[in-house]
Amino acid sequence: MLKSVYTFKVAWGDTDAAGIVFYPNFYKWMDQATGGLFHSIELPLSSLFVHEKIALPLLETHCVFKKPACFEDEIHVETQVLELRDKVFKLEHAFYRGETLLASGYEVRAWTSFAEGSPKAVTIPESVRASLIR
């Protein structure tokens, strides 16, 4: 299954008063890593919505925190497709500072059409499926 890596440096605004990353930021970074994964197969999420009226809303998310991340840490997020069903897929995200695993989590998302106004989960196209399982 497809894998990608998203890297960044922890900003001051991502931390609490003790300089430790405030936990919701891990979910923000999962979202950004998901965007990076789709960008790597030439399907930027913004153009997917503009041109195809497709979005990828979250159905479920989870994160386990093992070690703290701090201001100015260089982090890389390894993202991979874990499951690919008809209308839904699951991504795993692992957060590292160097070789140290800081957190791991997942997202379950639906391939969702907004073409008729209200959101409706639809079958993931074969071309996209092929890109996600390579």
How much of the chain exceeds pLDDT 90, in percent? 98
Mean pLDDT of 29-50: 96
pTM, entire model: 0.94
pLDDT greater than 90 at residue 117: no
Supply the DSSP string of 42-95, one letter for each residue.
T--HHHHHHHH-EE--EEEEEEEE-S--BTT-EEEEEEEEEEE-SSEEEEEEEE
> Reduced to 3 states, what is the DSSP secondary structure of residue 38?
helix
pLDDT of residue 127: 95
Determine the pLDDT at residue 37.
97
In the chain, the domains with their CATH numbers are 3-133 (3.10.129.10)
pLDDT above 90 (res 134): no
Strand order in the sheet with 74-84: 3-9, 74-84, 88-97, 100-110, 58-65
The pair of three-digit structure tokens given for residue 46, joined into one six-digit string: 């913004």
Give backbone dihedrals phi and psi of 60, rounded to 5 degrees, phi first.
Answer: -160, 145
Computed over every residue of the chain, the mean pLDDT equals 97
